Amino acid sequence: MNGVSPGIATPAEQQGGVPAAAVNRRGFHLARDRVYTVRYGGYTTFVSENYSYKSETYYAILARELAGEAVAPDTQSMLDAFVVPVCLERAGHCGIPVAAYTIMHSCAPAPAIVYGLNYFASTSHFEVLTGDARDREKVRHVTNGGKYPCCSQPISPDMAVTRAVSVFGKVLSPVPGMQEMAGSVWECFRIPLVELVCLSGPGGPVLSSLCPVRYSRLQPAERRLLKACIFGQVFL
């Protein structure tokens, strides 16, 4: 690459996709920080617990993208998914019901769910404003003392925050409408392992954000589903 060495390969690249441990299914376990690759629908699909910007997964996918390989998710989808307003705009364009939001610097009317919008913010961390005395401190926290803006989503009294882990667009959640939501999010972003944070009310769930998922947080049934997907059983 003309003076550029790509440096060290990611674990997935070193082992040609599914790691050696996975060849023997009985001994297979989802190892922390490990990246697994699955060929699906003409794409090399990266399964990871960390799709964040400048992560090993991000750079592994970037290198493949620039080499002309069809990959999922692509790096733009990774960026889009975890910056809340972009996530909602893109999801909305994909026909997914999304939460209403505003960008604010300080006060947000309660009740609302607020996300930080800055270099250090993570969608895994949000605050729910309930209208009590602690709201001001919560907003100060996500805006880093008012230095950065935040994304505020109003919650109506009949709404609740619901979460579900999507594995290749499939969820085990009993919440009505969540399976359709997960399928649509998978079609829109192509992120095989992601948590949906939704605001659920009488009209069904609306998407609030997407979060990364640690393998260690998966329920046993979700873990089995992910393993089945990595081995290609679910796609047959």
Q: In this chain, which of 16, 27, 54, 202 binds other proteins, going by CB under 8 A?
A: 54
Alpha helices in 67-173 (DSSP H): 75-81, 84-93, 135-142
Q: How many CA atoms lie within 13 A of 22 on its CB side?
A: 21
Tell whether residue 6 is a contact of other proteins (CB under 8 A): yes
- CA 182 from centroid of its chain's CA atoms: 11
- Stretch of 3-11, 156-164, 198-206, 214-222 contacting other proteins, by CB under 8 A: 3-11
If one asks whether residue 89 binds other proteins (CB under 8 A), the answer comes out as: yes
Distance of CA 24 to the CA centre of its chain: 29
Which of 44, 102, 124, 144 forms a contact with other proteins (CB under 8 A)? 102
Point out which span in 23-31, 59-67, 162-170, 197-205 binds other proteins (CB under 8 A): 59-67
110 binds other proteins (CB under 8 A): no
CB of 99 to other proteins, least distance (A): 14
Region binding other proteins by CB under 8 A among candidate stretches 41-49, 118-126, 178-186, 199-207:
118-126
| DSSP at 102 | E
- The two most distant CA atoms of the chain are separated, in Å, by 59
For the record, the structure tokens of 131 come out as 């209208």
CA distance linking residue 169 with residue 47, whole number of Å = 13
Total interface residues for other proteins by CB under 8 A: 37
**Helix or strand or coil: residue 45?**
strand
Residues that bind other proteins (CB under 8 A): 1-8, 53-56, 58-59, 62-63, 66, 75-76, 79-80, 83, 85-86, 89-90, 93, 102-105, 117-119, 121, 148-149
